């Protein structure tokens, strides 16, 4: 019994450590993401394929377009120089629409039923693979 | 397996199914895919403590298959199965290690592994490494919801034990 208690204490310690580590990572990521000078490029993936990249800073006016899922269904995406969001979708859970507009690299938008991922990546961080062309 | 045990397990499986359905009606707490309360896990944890791992696996499988048949799609079945299986393996081993004590710890580990399993499926399906950004969120939510379901299982087990095993 004593041995079991010891393992339980150890396990609780590990869980607390994990919790602190996660919070720390989130805090640090938030800190770097909220730098106002950073410009972002949106990366749209479907089924692991890069559909298109949109440099937000080069966007003159807000755009709205629809991405069809190969297995049926659609996501209507709204993008402006501020950020990108899924305005409308016919997926069952609607989580992608609820997430709203993302303006930094904290969290990508994912529509799991349609296997669609929208990521914002800072332009300067990976200077090597900055997009030099807009693919539509 | 005698008739009484069979009936009890069937009842618990239906209870888990009902909890799962009611939970799916609630709006998502946080608009992040994969984060949910996982209240149906209370039943898995209970069966694990009151009966054994094999019976708990049976109840879990019945619940996942029935929920996919009744209200789910094929996609959610895949997530449920992978998350549920990983969560179950973690919980069964921890439960065995602690001889059924500390349901909160058991459930927290279950929650963590459930979310890791789901993220792995999401990673395999979308093939975008960027979805790993969800990992800290999912781990934190797994710990919190695991603690909650573990406490529920502790209190529910206190009363259900007398009902199920006179």
Residues A20 and A69 in one domain: no
pLDDT band at B136 (very low <50, low <70, confident <90, very high): very high
Q: Residue B6 corresponds to which tokens in the numbers above?
A: 């069979």
Chain B residue with CA closest to A121: the answer is: B130
Residues A51 and A27 in one domain: no
- Decide if A72 touches B, using CB distance below 8 A: no
Q: Which residues of A touch B98 (CB under 8 A)?
A: 4, 7-8
Q: How far is residue A37 CA from its own chain's centroid?
A: 19
Chain B residue with CA closest to A118: the answer is: B130
Residues A56 and A12 in one domain: no
pLDDT digits (tens, 9 = 90+) for B74-116: 667 887 788 889 999 999 999 999 888 899 999 999 999 999 9
- CA nearest neighbour of A102 among A117, A91, A115, A113: A117
Residues A51 and A89 in one domain: yes
Residues A52 and A7 in one domain: no
Residues A18 and A67 in one domain: no
Residues A26 and A81 in one domain: no
- Cα-Cα-Cα-Cα dihedral of A21, A27, A29, A30, to 10°? 160
Q: Which residues of B touch A117 (CB under 8 A)?
A: 126, 128, 130-131
Q: What CATH number should be reported for the domain holding residue B115? A: 1.10.1760.20
Q: What CATH number should be reported for the domain holding residue A45? A: 2.60.320.10
**How confident is the prediction for chain B on average, in pLDDT?**
89
Cα–Cα distance measured from residue B136 to residue B44, given in angstroms and rounded to the nearest whole number? 25
Residues A118 and A64 in one domain: yes
What's the domain count of chain A? 2
Average pLDDT over residues B118-140: 89
Decide: residue A113, CB within 10 A, 0-12 exposed, 13-18 middle, 19+ buried: buried
Residues A55 and A108 in one domain: yes
pLDDT score recorded for residue A109 = 92
pLDDT digits (tens, 9 = 90+) for B46-66: 999 999 899 999 999 999 889
pLDDT score recorded for residue A128 = 45
Residue A87: inside a domain: yes
Predicted confidence pLDDT, tens digits, chain A (136 residues): 588 888 899 999 999 999 999 999 999 888 877 777 788 899 999 988 899 999 988 888 888 999 998 888 899 999 988 899 999 999 888 888 998 899 888 889 998 888 899 999 888 754 444 444 555 5
| Domain assignment of residue A59, given as a range | 40-129
Residue A134: inside a domain: no
The beta-carbon neighbor of B126 closest among A25, A45, A92 is: A45
- CA nearest neighbour of B75 among A96, A48, A112, A67: A112
Cα–Cα distance measured from residue A75 to residue A71, given in angstroms and rounded to the nearest whole number? 12
Q: Which residues of A touch B99 (CB under 8 A)?
A: 4
For the cut 90, the answer to whether the pLDDT of residue B31 exceeds it is no
Which of the residues B76, B82, B116, B136 would you substitute to probe the A interface, choosing the one with the greatest number of A C-beta atoms within 10 Å? B136
User: Does residue A109 contact residue A84 with C-beta atoms inside 8 Å?
Assistant: yes
Residues A65 and A89 in one domain: yes
pLDDT score recorded for residue A130 = 45
ipTM of this complex: 0.81
pLDDT band at B8 (very low <50, low <70, confident <90, very high): very high
Residue A84: inside a domain: yes
Residues A2 and A61 in one domain: no
Residues A123 and A64 in one domain: yes
- Decide if A45 touches B, using CB distance below 8 A: yes
pLDDT score recorded for residue A61 = 86
What's the domain count of chain B? 1
In Å, what is the CA distance from A42 to each residue of A30, A33, A55, A58, B33?
18, 14, 6, 11, 20
pLDDT score recorded for residue A4 = 85
Residue linked to tokens 């944890």: B45
Q: Give one DSSP letter per residue of chain B, joined into a string.
A: --HHHHHHHHHHHHHHHHHHHHHHHSPPSSSSTT----TTHHHHHHHHHHS-HHHHHHHHHHHHHHHHHHH--HHHHHHHHHHHHHHHHHHHHHHHHTTT--HHHHHHHHHHHHHHHHHHHHHHHH--GGGGGGHHHHHHHHHHHHHHHHHHHHHHHHHHHHHH--
User: What is the distance in angstroms between the Cα of B133 and the nearest Cα belonging to chain A?
Assistant: 6
């Amino acid at each position: 019994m004593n041995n079991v208690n010891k393992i339980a204490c150890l396990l609780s310690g590990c869980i607390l450590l994990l919790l602190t580590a996660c919070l720390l990572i989130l805090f640090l990521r938030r800190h770097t993401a909220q730098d106002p000078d950073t410009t972002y490029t949106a990366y749209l993936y479907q089924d692991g394929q890069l559909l298109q990249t949109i440099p937000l800073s080069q966007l003159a006016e807000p755009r709205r377009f629809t991405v069809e899922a190969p297995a049926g269904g659609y996501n209507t995406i709204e993008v402006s120089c501020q950020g990108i969001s899924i305005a409308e979708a016919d997926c069952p859970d609607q989580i992608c629409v609820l997430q709203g507009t993302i303006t930094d690299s904290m969290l990508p938008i994912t529509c799991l039923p349609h296997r669609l991922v929208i990521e914002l990546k800072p332009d300067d961080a990976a200077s090597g693979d900055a997009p030099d062309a807009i693919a539509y | 397996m005698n008739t009484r045990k069979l009936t009890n397990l069937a009842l618990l499986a239906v209870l888990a199914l009902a909890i799962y359905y009611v939970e799916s009606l609630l709006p998502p707490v946080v608009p992040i895919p994969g984060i949910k309360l996982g209240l149906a896990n209370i039943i898995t944890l209970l069966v694990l403590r009151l009966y054994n791992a094999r019976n708990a696996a049976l109840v879990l499988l019945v619940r996942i298959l029935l929920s996919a048949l009744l209200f789910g799609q094929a996609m959610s079945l895949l997530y449920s199965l992978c998350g549920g299986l990983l969560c179950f393996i973690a919980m069964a081993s921890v439960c065995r290690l602690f001889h059924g004590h500390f349901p909160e710890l058991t459930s927290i580990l279950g929650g963590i592994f459930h979310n890791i399993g789901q993220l792995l499926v999401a990673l395999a399906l979308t093939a975008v490494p960027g979805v790993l950004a969800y990992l800290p969120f999912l781990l934190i939510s797994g710990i919190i919801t695991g603690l909650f379901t573990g406490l529920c299982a502790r209190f529910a087990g206190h009363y259900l034990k007398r009902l199920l095993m006179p």
